[in-house]
Structure 1
Amino acid sequence: MTQDEEERANASRALRLASWASVFYLITTDILGPFNAPFAISQVGWVPGISFRRFTILGVLALYTGLILWRLFVRLDSLKYPLKTYGDMAERIFGKIARHVCTVLQSLQLLVNVATICLSNGQALSQITKGKLCFIVCIVIWAILGMVIGQIRTLKNFGWLANSAVWINLIIIFISMGFVAHSPPNYASALSSLNVPQGPVVTEKFAHLPLFSQVFAYGGAMIFPEIVNCSVSSVHLTYIEDNQMAEMRRPMDFWKGMTLAQALIFTAYLLYGAFVYAFQGQFTLPLAYQGVSKFSWQTVGNVLSLVTGIIAAGLYGNIGIKVVYINVVEDWMKGPRLMTFKGRVIWSLMVCGYWALAFVIGAAIPQIQTITGLIAAIAIMQFTYTFPPLLRLGYDVITDAMGSDELYSPGKGASCRIDTWRDWSRWKRGLFGGRWYFKLFNLGMALGGLVMACLGMWGAGESIKEVFANSAAATSFGCKAPV
C-alpha cells in the first residue's frame, strides 16, 4: 500500500464513527415530521390515502430498497476502495455516467430540501410575528443560521442534535393533535395558501380534485423518505442511508437502525395523517400544525418546529455539500481532504454559498406543497424506487455472468478463457442465470418508479402553475406570506 493509499484508508476509518443507534436517530430526524401527511390524504381522500396503495405497500417497498442499498454497500465497500456516496455505488455497477447522474440528482434534491426547510421555517416565523416581519426577511434569517450550523463536518457531531430533534417532533405531533381536536381550522391560511373558502369541514372517501392535483399529492408526499409516499418524502432516505453506512463503524448493523426507524415512522405518519384530516378535511394545510386557528396554539407548534427544522436542514446541507466536495473538490480538482485545515476553509466557503442558493430557491417558489412535489418527482422518487432495484439488477447480472470466468486453473497454469461483454454466452449467464425472477421483479419495480416520477413531474408543474395563478398566493421574493 502506498503512502497516499494508506492516508486514504486512515481517513476513511476516522470518518466511520456512527453506530446503528446513531443511524436510527439520524434517519428519524430526516423523516419523522409527518406534517405533510394530512395534506397528502386530503388531496386524494381516505381510501387512496390510507389504503395499502399509499402506506403499507409503499412503506414495505421503501424498506426493501433500503435493504438493497445496505446489501450492496457491504458487498462493494472496502478500505482500499471505499464507498463514500450513492454515486460511488452506481459507478461500481454501471460506470461513470451513472455516477454523474446520481451526483447531480442528489445535489439538486438535497439543495431543494434545504430550501424547503428555510421556507417552512420562514412561514412559521411569519405566523409568530403575525406578518409584521417581511416574509423574505423571515427566510433570510434561517439561511444565515444554516450557514453557522453547516460548519459541522461529520454526521457523528449531529448525533445529540438528531436525538433531541426526534423527541421534539414527537412532542409537536401529540400537541398539535390535541390542538386540532379542540379548535376550528385556520380558514384564513387555507384561503391564502390553497384558495379554499370557509365552510363546513368535509372529508371524502375519494377526493374529486383534478388529476394533476392528485398526482402532485402522490409525488409530493415523498419528502419523508419511507412511508408517506404521497406528499414529498420517502426517497431521500435511500441516500441518507447510503451516506450513513459510509460513516458507520459496523455497516452490517445498519439494518437495525433502519428497521426501528421504519416502524416508528410508519406508525406516526399513519395515525397523525388520519387524525388531522378527520378534523380539518379540505382545510388541511401542507404543514398541519399551522392549521389551527388559535394564535397561541399556532405559536407553540411553530416555535418547536423551528428547532427541528433547522436541525434537519443542517443534516441535509451536510450531506449535500459533502457530495459536492468529494466529487468536485477531491476527485475532479484534486483538492485537499475534507478533514484537513485547507479542507475546512473550502468547506466553510461552500456552506455559505450552498445556503445562499437554497434561500434563492425557497424565496422564488414560496409554496411548500409545490416545491416539494417537484423535487420529489425529479429526484426523490428515483433514489427510493428506481435506482436501488436497478443497481441490484446490474449487480446480479454482473456477478452471475462472472460465474464461468476462470482466471487460474490448478495444474494448467494461467491459461483460461474469459468471456467479454460482447459474447452472448456472458449475457445469457447474467440475465437468465441464478434467480431470473428476482431480476425481473427488480426491473419491473424500477420501471414502475420511473412512470410514477414522470406523472409526479407533470402534476407538480401543473400545481405550480395553478398556485401562481391564484391571486391570494404569495409572490416570489415578496413580503406577503403564504399563510
Structure 2
Amino acid sequence: MSMLPGPAGITAPTEQMRELGVEPEEVRRMSQAGTHPGVRQRLWGLQARLDPTVTFEEFTYWAKVEREMEAEEYRRYKAVTSGGGILGSIKGYFTSNAYEDARIQEDNSRALQSHEESTQWSEKKTVPVVNADGTASPIAPSTTHDFDAEWRQAARALRTAGWGSIFYLITTDILGWGQTPYVFSNTGFGLGAGIFILMGIAAALSGWMIWYVFIGLDSSRFPVLSFGDPFFRLYGPKTRHFINVTQALQMFLMVAVVLLGQTGIISQLSGSVNLCFIVCGVISLVVSMASGYMRSLKHLGWFCNAAVWINVISFIIICVAAAKFGPDPAPAVQNGILPKIWNTPGHMYPVTTFTNAPPAKFQPTDTNLFAAKFNGINSMVYAYSGALFFVAFLAEMRHPMDFWKAVFLAQGFITIVYVFFGAFSYAFYGQYSYVVINQVVKPLSLQILSNVLALITGWLAVFLYFNVAMKTVYLEIGQELLHLPPITTTKGKYLWWALGPFYWILAFVISMSVPQFTAFTNFVGGLFSLNFTYSFSGIMCLAYKIQDGARLPGEGFDPATGVTTRYDSGVKRWIRGFTKTWYISLPILIYVGCGLASSGMGTWAAILALEGAYGPNGSVLTSWTCVNPYYNP
C-alpha cells in the first residue's frame, strides 16, 4: 500500500512546525484553534537521526515514504530520458544526479513541462487538522510553504552518486589484490581459489544485507550516515557506541599495519646502505603524520583517482616480472618461518607450488597446517574488508535502491581479479609469495619501481584509515561523550591537530612492537575485518527482520499523531519476530554463527603465528631493532 498523499498518508507539518519557534502560550492558542494536534513535532536531519525517542516503526515508516518518492523521481527521469537508445540507457544508469539532469531537459520541452506541473501538485502533502470533537480531517495543501518538500530538497542535494560511481569506489578499494598470492602460498591452488570464490559470494551477500537494512531505515528525515547508525535504531545507543569504537580501533590497527608495511618497503629500498630499521619506521611515520593533518578527504580526491592507475601499472609490472624473472626470496624468508638458508646465494630452494595445502616445510608463517589455512583466510578477508564503508557509500547515493547492482558487479569483478592474480603470481613465486608481493619482484630495477608505487598507494591508505578512525574517535567519543567542541570550529581544529601526534605515535609504537608483519595483518583481519565484513552485517539484518516481523495487526506508527502503537515488548516480541520470519532469520543466524566461528579460529591462528615468530624458526627483525633485514653486503 502506498504511503504517499491521502488522509492517512505522509503529512507536511506546515502548522506544527510553528511550534519550534514559538512560546508555550502560542502553542496553547494553536491547540484551542484546532491547528495543533497535540504532539510536538520532532526535529529532522542530522540531530534527529540519533533521537532515542524515535521508534523502529517511525524510522521504517518514513523510510518507506522516502523509497516511494525516490521511485517517483526515477520514473520521471525515465520519462524524460526515454528514446535515447542503448547508449542513453547506459548513460542514465551511471549518471550522478539523474533527477536534476532530467529537470534540465524537461525545462526545454513544453510537453514534458506540462507533465512536470501536474506531478508537482500531486506531491503536495495534506495537513491534518484536529477538530473540536477530536477527529482529524484533511485540508488543502499549503500554497505558501511546504516544509517537507523544502527540507527534502536540501537534504537530498548532498546525495549525488549513481550506482556506477559506487561500483567504481568499491572496485578501486581493492588494495588487497597484492596479498592474494600469499593466500595461495598458505592454502594451495584448489583450496585458495575455492575459498576466494566462497568469500566473494559471502561478501556480496553481506553487502546485500547492509543495503536491505539501509533502505528499510534511511530517510531524509532520519538519515543513516555511518555503520553504527543502523545498530542504534535496532539495538540502542550502547550498541552503536560499541560498533563505532570497534570501527575506530580497526582503523587504528589498519594504520599500524600499513605503517609497518611501509617501513618494510623503505628498509628494502635502503638495503644497499644498511639504513637502520627504526629509522625507516620514523621516515614512514613522519610522511604519514604530515598527510594526517588534512581533515577533509577532498584534499586527495585527485590522488585517489591516480591511485587507481598506479595499481593497474603495479599489477602489470608484477605479472610480467613474475613470469620472466621469478622471485626475490628475501622478504618471505626474513619475515617468516621458511628456512633462513634459502636466502643465501646458491641455496635458494626451487619455487614449489601445491594444489592442496603446502606441507609444513613450505608454509610461510605457521607449521600447524590448520592454523596456516586460517592465516590465509585472514588475509583473504582483509582483502574483502570494504563492507565497512558500504553505509557511507549508500548515504551518498541519489537512488540507493540501485546499490545491489554495484555490490554484485563489483564483488564479482574483484573476485575474478583476486583469483587470477593470486594464482598467476603463486605459480611463479610459490612459497616465496610474500604478503607484500611487490617486495618479491625481480630484477632490482623493477623491484624499486614497484616499491615506490606501493609506497604512494600505501600512504594514501594510511591517510584514508587515519581520517576515518580519527573522525570517529573525535565525533563519537570526543564530542558526544566528552563534549569537545565540534571539529568544524577553530577550537575543534586545534584539538584535532593536538590529538593527531598522539594517535600516530601510538600506531608507530604498536607497528614496531610486533615481530611479524604477516601475522599482525592476519590478526587484524581475523578479529576485526572478518566481523565487520560478515558477522556484523548479518547481526544487523537479523535484528531488522525480527523487529519487522514482530508487528501485530493494529500496531505501527501514526503520522497524524506521532504515536507508535505496540501491544507487547521484550523477549516475547523478539521470539515472535524470529518464528514468523524463520525462513530468512534462521539462515542469517547460521551465517552470523559461521562468521563468528571463523573470526575466533582466524584470530587463534594469527596468535599462534605471532607466538611462532618468537620461536627458534621465527624472526623478530621487524621489531625494535636497528638491523635491516634486507641488507646484503
Under TM normalisation by the shorter chain, which class is it? 0.7 to 0.9
Report SS of the residue matched to 1:81: coil
* Structure 1 segment 15-414 matched on structure 2, within 5 A: 20=163, 22-51=165-194, 54-130=195-271, 132-196=274-338, 197=342, 198-206=348-356, 207-209=358-360, 210=368, 211-225=370-384, 236-248=385-397, 250-406=399-555
CA distance 1:249–1:382, shift in 2 (3 Å): same
1:457 to 584, 603, 609: 603
* Offset at residue 121 of structure 1 (A): 1.4
* Offset at residue 5 of structure 1 (A): 5.2
Is contact 1:366-1:474 (8 Å) kept? yes
* Offset at residue 122 of structure 1 (A): 1.4
TM-score (norm 2): 0.68
User: What is the aligned-residue identity percentage?
Assistant: 34
Measure the CA separation in 2 of the matches of 1:402 and 1:456.
38
Which has the higher Rg, Structure 1 or Structure 2?
2
* Offset at residue 277 of structure 1 (A): 0.6
Alignment deviations for residues 121-164 of structure 1 (CA, whole Å, 9 cap, x no partner): 11111111125322222222222222222233344444322211
Alignment deviations for residues 296-339 of structure 1 (CA, whole Å, 9 cap, x no partner): 12101101111111111211111111211221122212333333
CA distance 1:21–1:329, shift in 2 (3 Å): farther
Is contact 1:468-1:475 (8 Å) kept? no
Is the counterpart of residue 476 in structure 1 residue 476 in structure 2?
no
CA distance 1:315–1:19, shift in 2 (3 Å): farther
CA distance 1:153–1:67, shift in 2 (3 Å): farther
Quick one: which amino acid aligns to residue 481 of structure 2?
W
Measure the CA separation in 2 of the matches of 1:123 and 1:415.
60
Quick one: which amino acid aligns to residue 358 of structure 1?
A
Is contact 2:214-2:391 (8 Å) kept? yes
Measure the CA separation in 2 of the matches of 1:250 and 1:156.
23
Is contact 1:407-1:414 (8 Å) kept? no
Measure the CA separation in 2 of the matches of 1:63 and 1:318.
26
Report SS of the residue matched to 1:153: coil
Alignment deviations for residues 357-413 of structure 1 (CA, whole Å, 9 cap, x no partner): 22112111152211111111111111111111111111111111124343689xxx9
Quick one: which amino acid aligns to residue 153 of structure 1?
R
Which runs of 5 or more residues in structure 2 are unaligned? 1-16, 22-41, 48-150, 343-347, 361-367
Report SS of the residue matched to 1:480: coil
Report SS of the residue matched to 2:551: helix
Quick one: which amino acid aligns to residue 341 of structure 1?
T
* Offset at residue 65 of structure 1 (A): 0.5
Alignment deviations for residues 24-63 of structure 1 (CA, whole Å, 9 cap, x no partner): 4443343234111101111111111012xx1222101101
Is contact 2:550-2:576 (8 Å) kept? yes
Alignment deviations for residues 200-239 of structure 1 (CA, whole Å, 9 cap, x no partner): 11111112232222222212322212xxxxxxxxxx3121
CA distance 1:452–1:281, shift in 2 (3 Å): same
CA distance 1:423–1:309, shift in 2 (3 Å): closer
In the other structure, the counterpart of 2:576 is 429
Measure the CA separation in 2 of the matches of 1:12 and 1:290.
47
* Offset at residue 482 of structure 1 (A): 4.7
Report SS of the residue matched to 2:373: helix
In the other structure, the counterpart of 2:586 is 440
* Offset at residue 478 of structure 1 (A): 1.6
Measure the CA separation in 1 of the matches of 2:219 and 2:435.
43
Is contact 2:555-2:567 (8 Å) kept? no
CA distance 1:214–1:480, shift in 2 (3 Å): farther
Is contact 1:219-1:376 (8 Å) kept? yes
Is contact 2:487-2:493 (8 Å) kept? yes
Measure the CA separation in 2 of the matches of 1:135 and 1:21.
43
CA distance 1:335–1:256, shift in 2 (3 Å): farther
Report SS of the residue matched to 1:133: coil
The answer to which structure has the higher helix fraction is 1
Quick one: which amino acid aligns to residue 349 of structure 2?
G
Measure the CA separation in 2 of the matches of 1:423 and 1:194.
50
In the other structure, the counterpart of 2:566 is 418
Measure the CA separation in 2 of the matches of 1:414 and 1:146.
50
Q: Which moved more, 1:157-166 or 1:75-84?
A: 75-84
Q: Which moved more, 1:381-390 or 1:179-188?
A: 179-188
Quick one: which amino acid aligns to residue 151 of structure 1?
Y
CA distance 1:350–1:45, shift in 2 (3 Å): same
Measure the CA separation in 2 of the matches of 1:79 and 1:342.
30
Quick one: which amino acid aligns to residue 477 of structure 2?
V
Q: Which moved more, 1:124-133 or 1:36-45?
A: 124-133
Measure the CA separation in 2 of the matches of 1:158 and 1:402.
47
Measure the CA separation in 2 of the matches of 1:185 and 1:355.
33
Quick one: which amino acid aligns to residue 185 of structure 2?
S
How many equivalent pairs are there? 466
* Offset at residue 257 of structure 1 (A): 4.3
TM-score (norm 1): 0.88
Report SS of the residue matched to 1:35: helix
Is contact 2:187-2:373 (8 Å) kept? yes
* Offset at residue 439 of structure 1 (A): 0.7
Report SS of the residue matched to 2:271: coil
CA distance 1:213–1:432, shift in 2 (3 Å): same
Quick one: which amino acid aligns to residue 271 of structure 2?
K
